[in-house]
A and B are shown apart, each in its own frame.
Chain A
Amino acid sequence: MAERERIVGIDLGTTNSLVAYMEADGPVIIPSEDGTRLVPSVVALTEDGAAVGNAARKTLVERPQDAVYSAKRLMGRGVEDVREELKLFPFRLAQNIQPGDVLRLKLRDRELTPPEISAYILQQLKRNAERYFGGPITKAVVTVPAYFNDAQRQATKDAGRIAGLEVLRLVNEPTAAALAYGLDRNHEGTVAVYDFGGGTFDVSILKLSDGIFEVIATSGDTHLGGDDLDNLLLTVALDDIAGEMKIDVRQSGEAVQRLRSAVIDAKIELSSQEEATIDITLPGDEPYRRTITREQFEQLAEPVLQRTAGPVRQALKDAGITPEQIDEVVLVGGSTRIPRVRALVDDLFRLSARGKQPHTELNPDEVVALGAAVQAHILSGGSVATEDMLLLDVTPLSLGIEALGGVVAKIIQRNSTVPASATEHFTTGLEGQTNVAIHVVQGERELAADCRSLARFDLTGIPPMAAGLPRIEVKFLIDANGILHVSAREQRSGKESEIEVKPTYGLTDDQVETMILESFDYAEDDFRKRQAIEARLEAEKLLELVDKAPKHPAWKQLDAIEIANIAETKSALEKLKNSDDYKAIRTSMEALDKATRRFAELQLDDAVSSAIRGQTMTEAGDHIGDGPTAPHPFAPAEIEER
């Protein structure tokens, strides 16, 4: 039997990303080349091309304008959504972004959309997996926060396409975690997953029964995470420095970055220690030192942590159960290491009161990726380990259409199991009207303006009829990834209406195609730069040899034209060698090579006759080594033309 294609599971996180694969005895994290398991979700552009993860962190500190982190916060969002984000994160938006445009970030000399930035991270994970397996990886399951809306999901799928990965399924992060825990299949009953990560918070309530993982309700906040705690600590430190030391370091990107990483270290330390000390040197060699106690941190963090309580209560309410009916609680995400978070969870689900403990056996940073690998395995056909395992997930937000007066008519309720569909009928309001505009939104609010605009459709090509006579059936279908599809039919004429889907915040198919091409272009660009560096090194070696040539006796045998020719081609190469055009460098090298060919031959003859005259081979060799030999050592490198 042919070997099944490997499908990997990817956790594309706000702070860290991971790739995992289901081996025969369970899911494993695939390490990076440097042996680390977490790839920081940082992308940097350097003169050698894009760097991702730990390699990009250095750039983040030294040249913050060339690096970006937490880009997941911007996925599928418009410029008017991210104002608050921009105050807290050093995202540098490109100029002239209009409302409704996909965001573009300035990074070094380029402008990148959030999906393109995520694509760099996915490409790195793909490479890690390819190195691990020694073969190509083209398919993946990628996790998203359960509370991600349609645009954010679509953006994640687009990122996969740009990275050269077919995203077979988007799996909700808390559900993936439940899958990882549910592998032993002894779990039955009702489970709550509390997933507090770097940038997002999700809570899902699942019913486990005989291998079926049925999500009953989910809720969350896509902009609530450990990042927010970091920002609080950072603000305190910056105010501190500005107030007591009268230094404003906010203008120094580098100092802010170093301070940020110091407060993150302190935050982590406070999960195991009663106090932590921030100790760094500011610009101007000013030392800054401050001790924070756990109590101070908890006071500071409390309002942020309390924001997780609302979604928990909402999910319980939607599931129609009380906290006491939750049999097990699973903790996911690095922020669940904070003792105060654990206390809050204990309180929300009345755990210790019922003699229960939350599940923390699996590493909270890795559990989502492990679950993604399990789902990838199920999609590839499964095995005894995953037999009968099936995930039934829900859509986190209600889907609606804008009706008269800007109010929303809900057509698919939140927490509906996906795939889910709804059929609506529309008609015309004017005699002979041939198109009808439909505005699709996602959210729970009453007014369309308060919901998330997903797309505007134009039902076009309606046969002209009296007002109200056409009957257009529009089918809305949310697929297993939580992504909306729309189709329409005019029923009286039986004509399929054409629908032009214009996603409000997403990339169009054409845009994604262009980005795929661009990423090839840039891959080629990176390739070119490498080639140019190699060619330059070889050219310098050649020029060095030519510089020494006049000292050689053979030089005297050259005529004036030959010497002029060498001088001319040499100066041409000297001018060209620092360009990035490796082809031009190579051509110029060939010209100089050709001009010096007779000299090389004379030199060789000279060496041979010297040998006959009784010189040792070693000396002859030395001479030969001094000058160009034939065949020339600087034959052009083999370059595959694309």
Chain B
Amino acid sequence: MTQTQLQSAGVVCWACGAEHGPGAPLCPSCNKVQPPVAGADYFAALGLPRLLQIDIAALEKQFYKLSRRLHPDLYATSAPEQQQWSTEQSSLLNDAYRTLKDPVDRTRYLLQLEGASIEGESEKDRAAAKASGKAREQKVPPDLLEEVFELNMQLEELRMGGDDPDLKQQLQSARNGFTQQLGACDTQLQQLWRRWDLAWEAKDESGKSAAKDQLVALLNRRNYIRNLVRDVNEALGE
């Protein structure tokens, strides 16, 4: 369903008969659950604009407030249809809250909504990679090429049965280096959020597009480093 179709249709509340805008989980007049609408997104579910800088405490408050109105407990003795709506609207709300409260999940979700894709991200890709035994086909961030090459050599040595304490120490220090880089990614992430939010508010399409590209690159990089850290931890048995 397109945006214009959504907006053209007003909705009449089943409970109180008041007319309200489409897509709202609750009737603004009587606060009863409304039938779910196809294509509702997580930001809309929490009544938020598509901005990335979110006040987590306010988000939790909003989540609790909506839960008090939408949760199936409130419709346990209602008609089956309303129970079903409440279950679906609640699941959307819960999924939305879970996704948006996490910085990385939130960014990834927004990028997806905005039509960007991130490599090797889906669970299916991950599972397929695991099943085929092939390495995840991810591009190595150019500035990391040298470090990654060396790290892979060390990992291979360890897997071949190397029990050299020096080797372990090298790996640990490499891991610590990458963990630091992860932290740097998170700082950068917040800067990019700001860039996106400003462009979004100014309706600056080219600014949005630029921020989007940078966010995708950053998440790919972050993902890559995170996988490296995990591989080293696994190899070290930690």
* Of the residues B68, B87, B88, B131, contact of A403 by C-beta under 8 Å: B131
Closest 5 CB pairs of A and B: A405-B131, A419-B91, A379-B76, A403-B127, A409-B127
Q: Which of A210, A388, A409 contacts B124 (CB 8 A)?
A: A409
CA distance A233 to B63 in the complex (A): 50
CB within 8 Å of A: which residues of B? 64, 67-68, 71-73, 76-77, 87-88, 90-92, 94-95, 97-98, 123-124, 126-128, 130-132
Instruction: Provide the bound-state CA to CA distance between A422 and B87, in Å.
Output: 13
Instruction: Show 17 residue pairs from A and B whose CB-CB distance is below 8 angstroms, ordered by the A residue.
Output: A209-B64, A403-B127, A404-B128, A404-B131, A407-B131, A408-B127, A411-B123, A416-B94, A418-B94, A420-B95, A421-B88, A422-B95, A424-B124, A477-B87, A477-B91, A479-B87, A480-B72
Closest A residue to B97 using CB positions: A417
Taken together as a complex, chains A and B put the C-alpha atoms of A405 and B127 apart, in Å, by 9
* Neighbouring A residues of B64 by C-beta, 8 Å: 209-210, 212
B128 partner residues in chain A, CB cutoff 8 A: 403-404
Residues on the B chain within 8 Å of A379, using CB: 73, 76-77
CB distance from B223 to the nearest CB of A (A): 17
Residues of A with C-beta under 8 A to B94: 392, 416-420
From residue B28, how far is it (CB to closest CB) to chain A in Å? 21
Residue contact B67 to A212, C-beta cutoff 8 Å? yes
Chain B residues, Cβ within 8 Å of A419: 72, 87-88, 90-91, 94
The distance in angstroms between the C-alpha atoms of A100 and B162, with both chains bound, is 45
Residues of chain B with a CB closer than 8 A to A407's CB:
127, 130-131
Give chain A residues whose Cβ lies under 8 Å from the Cβ of B123: 409-411
From 395 to 438 in chain A, residues with beta carbon under 8 angstroms from any chain B beta carbon are 403-411, 416-422, 424
Contact partner of A421 among B92, B130, B131, B132, CB < 8 A? B92
Residues 147 to 181 of chain A near chain B (Cβ within 8 Å): 168-169
Known: A411-B123, A480-B72. A392 touches B91 (CB 8 A): no
Closest partner residue, chain B, to A411 (CB atom) = B123
* A-to-B contact residues, CB < 8 Å: 5, 168-169, 209-210, 212, 375, 378-381, 388, 390-392, 403-411, 416-422, 424, 446, 477-480
Q: Which residues of B contact A424 (CB under 8 A)?
A: 124
Contact yes or no, A405 B68, CB < 8 A? no
Closest to A392 in B: B67
Residues A381 and B77 in contact in the complex (CB < 8 Å), given A390-B71, A421-B95, A480-B72: yes
Are B131 and A168 closer than 8 Å at their CB atoms? Answer: no
A378 CB contacts on chain B under 8 angstroms: 73
Contact indicator B73/A391 (Cβ below 8 Å)? yes
- Cβ of A478: which chain B residues have Cβ within 8 Å of it? 91
In the complex, which of the residues A169, A375, A380, A416 contacts B98, with contact meaning CB atoms closer than 8 Å? Answer: A416
**Closest B-chain residue to A405, C-beta based?**
B131
Q: What chain B residues lie within 8 Å of A416 (beta carbons)? A: 94-95, 98
> Whole-angstrom distance between the alpha carbons of A379 and B73 in the complex?
5
User: Contact partner of B73 among A169, A404, A409, A446, CB < 8 A?
Assistant: A169
A352 to chain B, nearest CB (A): 31
A404 with B127: CB separation less than 8 A: yes
Enumerate chain B residues within 8 angstroms of A169, measured Cβ to Cβ. 73, 76
Whether A479 pairs with B95 at a CB distance below 8 angstroms is: no
Q: Which residue of B lies closest to A4 (CB)?
A: B77
Q: Is the CB of B131 within 8 A of A480?
A: no
Name A210's closest neighbour in chain B (CB-CB): B64
**5 extra interchain contacts, Cβ-Cβ under 8 A, other than A212-B67, A419-B72, A419-B87?**
A391-B73, A405-B130, A409-B127, A418-B91, A419-B91
Least CB distance, B136 to chain A, in whole angstroms: 14
Which residues of B have CB within 8 Å of A388?
Answer: 68
CB-defined contacts of B124 to chain A, threshold 8 Å: 403, 409, 424
Q: How far is the CB of A362 from chain B (nearest CB, A)?
A: 22
Q: Which residue of B lies closest to A379 (CB)?
A: B76
Q: How far in angstroms is the closest Cβ of chain B from A36?
A: 30
Closest to B131 in A: A405
Q: Tell me which of A169, A419, A477, A478 has the highest count of chain B C-beta atoms within 10 A of its own C-beta.
A: A419
Structural contact, A409 and B126, CB atoms closer than 8 A: yes
Enumerate chain A residues within 8 angstroms of B77, measured Cβ to Cβ: 5, 168, 379-381
Contacts of A5 in B (CB 8 A): 77
Least CB distance from B82 to A in Å reads 14
Q: Which residue of B lies closest to A168 (CB)?
A: B76
For the complex, what is the distance from the CA of A325 to the CA of B179, rounded to whole Å?
25
**Cα A420 to Cα B124 with chains together (Å):** 19
The answer on a CB contact under 8 Å between B68 and A479 is no
CB-CB under 8 A for A392 and B71, given A417-B98, A421-B92? yes
Tell me the complex Cα distance, A391–B126, Å.
34
B131 near A406: Cβ-Cβ < 8 Å: yes
Residue of B nearest to A402 (CB): B127
Cα separation A209 to B64 with both chains bound (whole Å)? 9
- Which one, B87, B95, B130, contacts A480 given CB within 8 A? B87
- B95: chain A residues at CB < 8 Å are 416, 420-422
Q: Which residues of B contact A390 (CB under 8 A)?
A: 67-68, 71, 73
User: Distance (Å) between the CB of B117 and the closest chain A CB?
Assistant: 14
In Å, the complex CA distance between A479 and B90 comes to 9
Contacting residues, chain B, for A417 (C-beta < 8 A): 94, 97-98
Chain A residues contacting B73 (CB-CB under 8 Å) are 169, 375, 378-379, 390-391, 480
In the complex, residue of chain B having the shortest beta-carbon distance to the beta carbon of A171: B73
Chain A contacts of B98 at CB under 8 A?
Answer: 416-417, 420
Q: Please give, as numbers and ranges, the residues of chain B lying within 8 Å of A480 by CB-CB distance.
A: 71-73, 87, 90
A380 to B97, CA, bound (A): 27
**What's the minimum C-beta distance from A396 to chain B, rounded to whole angstroms?**
15
In the bound complex, residues from chain B placing their C-beta under 8 Å from that of A411 are 123
B91 touches A420 (CB 8 A): yes
Please give the distance in Å from B129's CB to the nearest CB on chain A. 9
